[in-house]
Amino acid sequence: MKAEYINNHVFITDYDSFDIGDILECGQCFRFEKIEDKHYTYISCGKVIEIKQDVSGKVIDFYPCTKEEFEKIWLDYFDFNRNYKDIKESLAKSDTILADAIDFAGGIRIMNQEFWDCLIAFIISQNKTIPMIKAVIKNIAKAYGTNIVGENYKFPTAEQLIHVTQEELMPCKVGFRAKYIVDAVNKRFSGGLDEKVLSKMDTESLKKKLMEIYGVGVKVADCVLIFSLGRHEVFPTDVWVKRLMQYFYFENKETPIKEIYSFAQDKWGEYAGFAQQYLFHYARVKRIGV
């Protein structure tokens, strides 16, 4: 990977395994807007940034973005330091199904998102479609978050949300999740969800800790673990993943999530989360099992 810094643009070349469309639209994040193919705006870490890949896919343009900002934020955020070639090779080796999914969605990278934003995003995600999740997050950001530029707002911190009631959240269209958000805010505000502490915990106890939050179950906890805490061995199993796993690996037979989960972890181990994301995107675009 090579980076050039010109006039507040960062141009990335000589990279592999990066397709901005796949990365943003594969269901791991919500604060993006498509401008055109391979061209998006994205909000995170207090920044609004445009990310544009040229048609050939050989150059990625981050704008506006300084060298310092790129190296401090986006380099790790988009997981540029990980070797996806090795992961994909290892996963595709003895699994033709997964090899197809990787062939289809090989430009995915698992982003390293901000813990708090990610936690609330996936609490909101339950029983909602991705467009609706995006809208609700935007509503909350606009109502309670700090303005960045134009109509773009940061997602509010727990401090900014601590006095917000369930009723006040309803106009943001959070629905029955209001009480869940309030509980997460309280736990975060009182210091119980400090990522400096969380990051030192082993994955199992960390998952238990997250599931102490009202409204956080196995699946939401797994999403937070993989998308913001770097735990790639988890296997978030939602309706889509359950369907596709049954379809591909269980002769289309009704199978308990627990069984699917241990099957995936036995089969893919530390890379289970990557496998999940390739399969999820593949199955959702192709509507497998529906």
Partner DNA sequence: ATCCAGGATCTCC
Partner DNA sequence: GGAGATCATGGA
Per CB under 7 A, residues contacting DNA are 26-28, 125-132, 170, 173, 175-176, 211, 214-221, 223, 236-241, 276-277, 280
d(CA 61, CA 259): 43
Phi-psi sector, 82: left (phi>0), alpha (psi -120 to 50), beta: beta
Treating both helix axes as pointing N-terminal to C-terminal, what angle do 257-268 and 272-286 enclose, rounded to 10 degrees? 120
User: How far apart are CB 8 and DNA at their closest, in Å?
Assistant: 31
Query: CB-based contacts of 231: which residues, under 8 Å, 6+ apart?
Result: 203, 206, 225, 273
Torsion angle (degrees, nearest 10) of CA 89, 91, 96, 102? -70
DSSP code at position 217:
-
User: How far apart are CB 227 and DNA at their closest, in Å?
Assistant: 8
User: How far apart are CB 224 and DNA at their closest, in Å?
Assistant: 10
Residue 100 corresponds to which tokens in the numbers above? 């197809």
User: How far apart are CB 150 and DNA at their closest, in Å?
Assistant: 23
d(CA 10, CA 60): 8
Closer to DNA at the Cβ: 57 or 217?
A: 217
User: How far apart are CB 183 and DNA at their closest, in Å?
Assistant: 9
How would DSSP label each residue in 32-81? EEEEETTEEEEEETTEEEEEEE-TTS--EEEES--HHHIIIIIHHHTTTT
User: How far apart are CB 112 and DNA at their closest, in Å?
Assistant: 15
Closer to DNA at the Cβ: 32 or 70?
A: 32
- Residue ranges of alpha helices (H) inside 162-271 are 166-169, 178-189, 195-198, 203-211, 218-228, 239-249, 257-268
Closer to DNA at the Cβ: 185 or 241?
A: 241
User: How far apart are CB 24 and DNA at their closest, in Å?
Assistant: 11
Query: How far from chain centre, in Å, is Cα 197?
Result: 21
Residues 111/17, Cβ–Cβ less than 8 Å: no
Closer to DNA at the Cβ: 64 or 289?
A: 289
d(CA 38, CA 19): 7
Closer to DNA at the Cβ: 112 or 277?
A: 277
